[in-house]
Structure 1
Amino acid sequence: MSEGLFPRERATVAPGAVHVPGWLSPARQRELVDACREWGRGPVPYRRTVLPGGGVMSVSSLCLGRQWEPYRYLDSVGVELPGWLAALGREALVEAYGADGEGGEHGDFAPDTALVNFYGPGAKMGMHQDKEERSGAPVVSLSLGDRCVFRFGNAENRGRPYRDVDLASGDLFVFGRASRWVHHGVPTVYPGTADPALGLVGRLNITLRETGLTPPGTP
């Protein structure tokens, strides 16, 4: 998929970290936006997470499947993670790593949680690691709405070296293997850059993960 005169190219940002621009069709993007709205009407609505130190995150979030709070997963499920969304995650890994790669044709990737983040005016995400999971399975990230800068760093600290990647609506970003535990964040979102036909003001990001934890309710 292209923007203007110049196509945005697929890129391996780091070992195990793959960016696929325009992977989601416009129709699939609209379906996901509608689904995100519907999930927000459920028993676990979007909320701004309060951090242990008292700070409040600028993004609004909800979890599908196993619930997350800083910095742990709870033994509870609010909104079920739909099977079709897990299947989309497996398709994403095939796209990123190939049919014979990790989580590919054998359907090994079995996400039990998905974090949906909404970036309204002024929202951003500081550098962090997705390290509450006990599984080393890749993280699948889907972008919808406004364009943003996705900062992809290193596993040792929140500073340099890092690489800034431009993510637009419909983009897929997968990070696993040697890049599974790197710090990453969203320092900038560009308001008003989404296609008006999408019907979304702001940015949505869906990340699918395997926690590697015992399913809730298991003795």
Structure 2
Amino acid sequence: MDLFSDHPTTPVMIATGAYWLPGFALPVMPTLWQVLAQHLAAYPAQRMMTPMGHLMSVATSSMGDWGWVGSTQGYGYSAQDPATQQAWPAIPAVMQALSTAAALQAGYANFVADSCLINVYAPGSKMGLHQDRDEQDFTQPIVSVSIGMPATFLFGGVKRSDPTVKIPLQHGDIVVWGGASRRYYHGVSVVKPHAHSLTGLRRINLTFRKAK
């Protein structure tokens, strides 16, 4: 279901407890991009394994107390980068402040993430419909920040088969969901090549969570 023919400029409720905040990250993007680029140089994104033994099409890195990892044993959180066995670096202040402010804008006060998953999409990559369900406290929202190439975000319901809303995310947009929609299925359609001046042929997504 495609409800948006134009890119809005004000917050949009996409489901109960879920909001699209167009351009919310743009005011801090210069600083945000600087620290993110430094992180990816030191902790390159890697393609994790699915439980079925396939490499994901999206490459990932992490920040915070807990990093999201995938393997043939399943998905979950680890305090260490599996590539180096070193602890993940702390979430930079600009990112922590942005995620807290976006959560508050969507009605979720006092959100403090302890995990930031960094997904790097190349043209042709996608993210299938899934739930964020590896966290311990489902009262805390998810804050998702889009950087670089545009992408179509799919937001569904409590069942994988529920209809999805198509949200045309652009550079600097944020989506926040929690409450009644905290465990709704969501994903990203196949990303099309549309080079961005900041990231080139990459779409980078930051997902802030309270994992533990």
Bin the TM-score by the shorter chain: 0.7 to 0.9
Q: Which residue of 2 aligns with 1:141?
A: 144
Q: Which residue of 2 aligns with 1:115?
A: 117
AA in 2 matched with 1:172: I
AA in 1 matched with 2:104: V
Deviation string, structure 1 residues 6-47 (Cα, Å, up to 9, x no partner): 65143100001000111122x6323323322211222x4210
Q: How many residues align?
A: 194
Taking structure 2 as the reference length, what is the TM-score of the superposition?
A: 0.84
Q: Which residue of 1 aligns with 2:194?
A: 192
Q: Contact conserved, 1:18 with 1:173, CA < 8 A, in 2?
A: yes
> Of residues 98, 101, 105 in structure 2, which corresponds to 1:95?
105
Q: Contact conserved, 1:147 with 1:193, CA < 8 A, in 2?
A: no
RMSD: 1.7
AA in 2 matched with 1:41: A
CA distance in structure 2 between the partners assigned to 1:84 and 1:170 by the alignment: 14
Q: How does 1:1-219 map to 2 (within 5 A)?
A: 8-9=8-9, 10-25=11-26, 28-42=28-42, 44-65=43-64, 66-70=66-70, 71-76=75-80, 77-97=87-107, 102-103=108-109, 108-136=110-138, 137-156=140-159, 158-192=160-194, 194=196, 196=197, 198-211=198-211, 213=212
Taking structure 1 as the reference length, what is the TM-score of the superposition?
A: 0.82
Q: Contact conserved, 1:147 with 1:167, CA < 8 A, in 2?
A: yes
In structure 2, runs of 5+ residues without a counterpart are 1-5, 81-86
Where 1:111 maps in the other structure, the secondary structure is coil
CA distance in structure 1 between the partners assigned to 2:167 and 2:76 by the alignment: 28
Structure 1 moving runs of 4+ over 3 Å = none
CA distance in structure 2 between the partners assigned to 1:32 and 1:120 by the alignment: 20
CA distance in structure 1 between the partners assigned to 2:172 and 2:97 by the alignment: 17
Where 2:190 maps in the other structure, the secondary structure is strand
